[in-house]
Chain A
Amino acid sequence: MTHCPFLASPTSIRWARIQLSWLLFCFPGNLQAQPAIDGYRDFAALRIEFESIAANPVASLSSIGMTQGGREIPLLTLSISASDKKPAILVVGNVDAPHRVGSELAIRLARHLADRAETDPRIKKLLTDQTVYIIPCPTPDASEAFFLHPAYERTGNVRATDDDRDGVTNEDPPEDLNGDGLITMMRIEDPTGTYIPHPVDPRVMIQADPQKNERGKYRLIQEGIDNDKDEQFNEDGPGGVDFNRNFPFHYPYFESGAGPHQVSEPETRAVADFAFDHPNIYCVLTFSPHDNLSRPWKSDPSSETAKIKTAVPQADAVYYQAISKLFHSAIGSMEDPISPSDRGSFAHWVYFHFGRWSFASRGWWIPSMEGTSGGTEQKTDHVQETDSSQGANKELESEPTGKYRSDAIATDDPEAKDLEEDQRGVVERNALRWFEREGIHGFVPWTPISHPDFSNKKVEIGGFRPFLLLNPPASMLDPLAASHANFMLDFAELRPRLAISADEIVSLGEGIYRLVVTIRNEGFLPTMSSMGAISRQLVRLEATLDLPNGAQLVTGSSRVPLAPLAGAGGYARQEWLISAPKSIEKRTARITASSPTLGTVETTIELP
């Protein structure tokens, strides 16, 4: 914090006060803000950027709530004119705390749109017809770990949690044993271990395959000591609850990092309440490892008839396919890694519970390099049952989970057995080749160290530098933001759009008229998704007839709910019988069709 340009306004004073309380707040580890990747901005620097964006007339800055660590959760609203009354897109970044690229992309997207609001006709149209809400860092305490020392990926906020359920909290954190400012991995030579070095690239550790007569040689544990001498390592460090596992869809009860119950955290509640308080939101774009734009969600026959929906209904899967194609043309086609489990995920909650279109982009991933086969097989996204051992010991026996993020490190993909080539460690080897090409020092070489808990064994420390597998070099951020902005503009043009016309006004005699009105959806997307209709969360589309003074309906009511309209030309025809004696002078009737997610259209007709 080197300067305070924001002390002028009440908002700024509030920001300054919060900043002070943040300084006083004691987060374990060094308070120096040094990013894991240069060019990424910490919360203090981001707030300056928010203020700067908010100086633009189309943008405004507010807060949706406060974290336990005393940080306000920022919201940027982009709109030309009255924001809450128009159909809106919500953008949420960085729902997975180590996925810091998510907040950078969300903010740069905001900057991109605000800067061009007057000059780019597509953006001008977007912000006139629609509103864009952006929550770039929904869980700022957790995502600030990117800037702490020693650096390691963790998903939890600052709530003290008893992760291993032993009655004591935060008693066994990781330690930076080799003083390099990073928490990496330890490999311990031990015949009972299950890991071996990869035959091609021995930096990469893979599981020994007994069916190939391989013998394990190493144990693999996160860097640290067994503080509480319970023969588990780093199983209960500082923090916290994982925002992206704290939502009610397919909630991972009792899992370490999921919180005491759904929506237990101030961050989760703030975002959920914001969503419910804004019925005009029709779609949410999330930056998250849960991608469904590169690989669209698929339907599942068992879910079609089930009471509780766990997969996209058939009718919506078609649209997910279509939007995915749009995404590929805007971003470029790349096979991306498999999404993590959907349990408690924000993006899934948006669709299955909140009933809105939910699109999630991973933002960036390491591209496939020649010489290593790239991604692995696609899995259906609604069932991602990874091994979630409670109070996860940071010893890797299988797929690592828990709040300590070790995404795609030293794992074995069981489905890869079907492929001819040995797929073990392919993601890691691919990453190392990419680092080499880009000149990124992304791997700490295995180096011996003496370890108090393994005094008679050979122990080496090494492994991937935290955050580098998930977050790109800063130079890539602006182009990525720009391509996502283009995707968003393309997508926004496909939204459902109402049109209304009074087709027919027939005089039946004796001052009785028959009025027929057609309400059409001229947008590509239906007026609500199939899941949206099932969810009963969206305000219905309604047609309203305003009659001139003295006229009245013969039968029926002037407010009529309409069923959801199909995309690209779906329509409803509404008929009214009106009694309007000749004596009435003003003979204009007005018909409106409206809902918060669609906006309002109206037409008038003269009663002959």
Chain B
Amino acid sequence: MNRPSSHKTDWLPYTVPRPIDYWIRLAIILGATGILHKHPCSIANESNSVESAAANPAAYQPAGAPADPKVQARWNFYRDYAQTTELLKQITAAHPDLCRLESLGKSHGNREMWILTITNFKTLRAPDYPFQESNGPDTSPADSAVDMPSSDIDKELTRPAYWIDGGIHANEIQGVDTSLYTAWFLTEMFNRNATITRLLNERIFYLLPMMSPDSRDAHMYRPNSTNSPRSGQWPVDDDLDGLVDEDGPDDLDGDGHITQMRIRDPNGRMKSHDVYPDMMVPCNPDETGHYTLLGTEGIDNDGDGLVNEDGDGIYDPNRDWAWQWQPRYVEDGAYKYPFSVPENRMVADFIMAHPNIAGAQSYHNTGGMILRGPGVLSEKWPAADTEVFDQIGKQGELMLPGYRYIGSMSNLYEVHGAEDDWFFVMQGVFAFTNELHTPFNLFKQESKHGGYFGKQEDLRKFDEYLLFGDGYISWHAMNHPQYGKIEIGGQKKNWNRQPPSFMLEEECHRNMAFTLFHADQMPQVSIDSIQVRNSGNGPIEVTAAIINRKRIPTHSELDIQQRITPPDRASLAGKNVKIITALSADDMFFKEATSQHRASHEVRLRNVPSMKPVYVRWLVHGPGPYTVSIRSVKGGVARKVWAGDSGD
């Protein structure tokens, strides 16, 4: 949506274009306060009037995000689908040279799967020739999501790309807002901050902020708890009774939250906490309690004796990805087969059509963790690859105090079919999953025995002093059709896994910072030097050193083993140059060299590792200049010209 030129801001009494008498008035006021003679920053000292401050609006910049962005945006609340759509359109309209907004398709509930591409489109360079030659009829993968002229796609594919998504588990809501914050921050800080500017010139960011849009709105506007819906909205017969989604939780007291039920029971095994009476705790073994817990709020809707056994969805969208996928009897959250969740399939098709993606982040909650695979206990990844993960992940602990980098998700519990496993093993992409929000953040200290969610007492304490009791619903009486006189109460859905308003922006920024640090470590190939040796006797030797000074290699070890990403290609060109043969080696003396006779103008390199150069030598006839190019699917492109002896 375009912002109209005549907008009303908070501090201006008129809309723009402003009438002439406004300007006259302003001049009078400014003159009266002597403003025109003074430095703008001294306004605040000189005058308290709104009009005097109006002369230089928001000129003082805090460290961090700009105070006067093109797109006004608050970061202390959670955006629903409509608000997210609105913000994405605003960002795209405000930064047309940096943004492209598209939809991959529609969800079950007819919502768009918005994908935002952010890069400096103006500095995209055309490659000299198409990267993938083909003789066959159909060369592009079916269902390519991007509808652009092919030359633009070729340009785009030469730039390494980073993937960000949020909210695949819709109840893990802050991932969406973290992705949106990232989009906003990147675009607003372009040309204000050198690092961000460089990042947008060197990389492409593909952001899919809301992976599960139907359940996003369901979480917000239908009765749910902080744990639901984790699933999407495709209907599933969870209890295999032939009926679909017929018995979900019920909001018996109509407060919009799905809480817990309890009943007074003179022989119950639960009692009230000493300090926080609303909190239920188990009795000591010799103690008599007062309550029995009856489970989540609900009734037996379908008369089969069970309560809440078949609500919306049930499948876990993060058990739907192809690597190590297993059916539901092995992996409880599996849907029908890999990528049977249509929203995921659209995403996977896009990712497979963009092999330039070299890094990824998928935001979840909760617990304060930086995770990577493998998700299956028996699986082992090569040490060379896990070292790369470790270097980057460990650094995240600095930016995210209270978060732990955990190498291998199987340390938590075994997972079949997780997104970041598929990313790494089948697409060669180093992918992390951050679990946002940590109990550490409650009081900026380790919560002992707090696990992922924090100790109940700490949560209650925080609620008392910082939320003023807003986090919980006190137990209150209710009549239940099966159980009779019961009580309902518990935790609100916007508390526990979701940071409160005043903590959200920090969580967004810190996680973005780690993600951008990761993105900056994606491979970037360049030609470090070209040496030319002409002994006068025989062919001329043109030797190029190709280097990647980032921590992530152009190919992971697994990628090399399975040949997922095509080899990097180093080529030599020159007028009247005849290439006899070519060699490549990992050492500068070519002690162990590989020769390539076929198509030796374009030498295939299986990898350009981190920091250690790859050497390529052409034996040629014909004088320079020589142009050496390096093209890497995940590492970008670079070129250097050797023009004569005065050079290197």
Residues of A within 8 A of B (CB): 26, 28, 68, 158-160, 165-171, 229-230, 238, 247-248, 251, 253-254, 260-264, 272-273, 276, 279, 307-308, 353, 390-391, 534-540, 542, 556-561, 594-596
Contact = CB atoms under 8 A, between A and B. Distances in A.
Interface of B: 131-139, 141-142, 237, 239-242, 300, 302-305, 322-323, 325-330, 336-340, 348, 352, 422, 426, 562-564, 566-567, 598
A162 B135 CA distance: 11
A600 to B, nearest CB: 11
B234 to A, nearest CB: 11
A261 B336 contact: no
26 contacts: A26-B137, A159-B138, A160-B137, A165-B563, A165-B564, A167-B567, A168-B133, A168-B134, A169-B134, A170-B136, A171-B136, A247-B337, A261-B348, A264-B339, A272-B336, A273-B336, A308-B326, A390-B562, A535-B327, A535-B329, A536-B240, A538-B240, A542-B242, A557-B304, A557-B305, A559-B304
Nearest to B140: A160
Contact of B134 (A165, A170, A556): A170
Given A165-B563, A229-B598, A561 B241 contact: yes
B380 to A, nearest CB: 16
B604 to A, nearest CB: 8
Contacts of A536: 240, 328-329
A559 B137 contact: no
Contacts of B339: 261, 263-264
B132 A559 contact: no
Given A170-B135, A539-B241, A262 B322 contact: yes
Contacts of B329: 534-536
A276 B237 CA distance: 12
B265 to A, nearest CB: 19
Given A279-B242, A534-B329, A536-B328, 7 more contacts: A160-B136, A169-B139, A262-B338, A263-B338, A539-B237, A542-B241, A594-B242
A158 B138 contact: yes
B135 A171 contact: yes
Given A248-B325, A539-B240, A261 B338 contact: yes
A233 to B, nearest CB: 15
Contacts of A539: 237, 240-242
Nearest to A254: B562
Contacts of A558: 303
A23 to B, nearest CB: 15
B136 A238 contact: yes
A165 B132 CA distance: 12
B132 A168 contact: yes
A159 B142 contact: yes
A308 B242 contact: no
A248 B566 contact: no
B330 A276 contact: no
A167 B132 contact: yes
B136 A272 contact: no
The 4 closest A-B pairs by CB, nearest first: A167-B566, A170-B136, A261-B322, A557-B305
Contacts of B562: 165, 253-254, 390
Nearest to B242: A539
B139 A160 contact: yes
A325 B131 CA distance: 58
B315 to A, nearest CB: 12
Contacts of A560: 304-305
B136 A166 contact: no
B310 to A, nearest CB: 12
A300 to B, nearest CB: 17
A557 B303 contact: yes
A502 B410 CA distance: 52
A169 B142 CA distance: 14
Nearest to A595: B242
A248 B327 contact: yes
A273 B240 CA distance: 17
Contacts of B564: 165, 254
Nearest to A352: B327
B566 A166 contact: yes
